[in-house]
């Protein structure tokens, strides 16, 4: 499988989930374990660009896939979504943050390909699998829309 753009050949315990593999064997502890039963979204990673709960996949079933974790986002500097979360006050305890950002990334990547701008309800829908207990979600929705606007403008400048 490929993890954060690096091809890996791994031997895994058949009982281990993708989350166990990432956290316990590869030391990628940015992906969090909030419930271990697919309910809270803190373990969200991208598998071939789609957000998935890493706790709900057996590691052996991820053969051949490309997995992106929170550690794979920042290159030298924070990416636009991470920066928007910091600036908007969307981070409190931070435990939901990595998973929330991964869901936000999948949403923004998808939305940038569409002509229309996302609405607040669109963002809420996209993040509805990621629980947050600190923020009330208001500043998280602000952050995602602000990151979208920034990336849209950046895209326009490059074209």
Integer Rg of the chain from CA: 16
CA angle 100–107–30, rounded 5-degree value: 30
| 139 part of the interface to another protein, by CB under 8 A | yes
| 19 part of the interface to another protein, by CB under 8 A | no
| 33 part of the interface to another protein, by CB under 8 A | yes
Beta carbons of 64 and 10 less than 8 angstroms apart: no
Q: Which range touches another protein (CB under 8 A), out of 60-68, 109-117, 120-128, 150-158?
A: 120-128
Q: Is 54 helix (H, G, I), strand (E, B) or coil?
A: helix
| 52 part of the interface to another protein, by CB under 8 A | no
Q: Is 16 helix (H, G, I), strand (E, B) or coil?
A: coil
| 31 part of the interface to another protein, by CB under 8 A | yes
| 110 part of the interface to another protein, by CB under 8 A | no
Identify residues 69-98 at the interface with another protein (CB under 8 A).
69-71, 73-74, 78, 82-83, 85-89, 91-98
| 109 part of the interface to another protein, by CB under 8 A | no
Q: How many residues bind to another protein according to rule CB under 8 A?
A: 56
Beta carbons of 96 and 41 less than 8 angstroms apart: yes
Locus of tokens 């629980």: 131
C-alpha torsion sign, points 118, 135, 45, 8: positive
Q: Is the Cβ of residue 125 or residue 157 nearer to another protein in the bound state?
A: 125
Rounded Cα gap, residues 56 and 59, in angstroms:
9
What residue ranges bind another protein (CB under 8 A)?
Answer: 15, 23-24, 28-37, 39-40, 42, 69-71, 73-74, 78, 82-83, 85-89, 91-98, 101, 123-125, 127-141
């Amino acid at each position: 499988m490929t993890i954060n753009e690096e091809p890996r050949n791994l031997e895994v315990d058949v009982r281990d989930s993708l989350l166990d593999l990432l956290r316990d064997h590869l030391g990628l502890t940015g992906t969090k374990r909030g419930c271990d039963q697919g309910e809270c979204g803190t373990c969200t990673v991208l598998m071939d660009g789609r957000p998935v709960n890493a706790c709900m996949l057996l590691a052996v079933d991820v053969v051949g896939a490309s997995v992106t974790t929170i550690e794979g986002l920042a290159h030298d500097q924070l990416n636009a979504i991470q920066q928007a979360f910091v600036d908007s006050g969307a981070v409190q305890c931070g435990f939901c943050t990595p998973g929330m950002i991964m869901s936000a990334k999948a949403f923004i990547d998808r939305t940038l390909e569409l002509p229309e701008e996302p609405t607040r309800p669109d963002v809420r829908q996209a993040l509805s699998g990621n629980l947050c207990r600190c923020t009330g979600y208001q500043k998280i929705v602000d952050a995602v829309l602000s990151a979208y606007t920034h990336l849209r403008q950046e895209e326009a400048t490059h074209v």
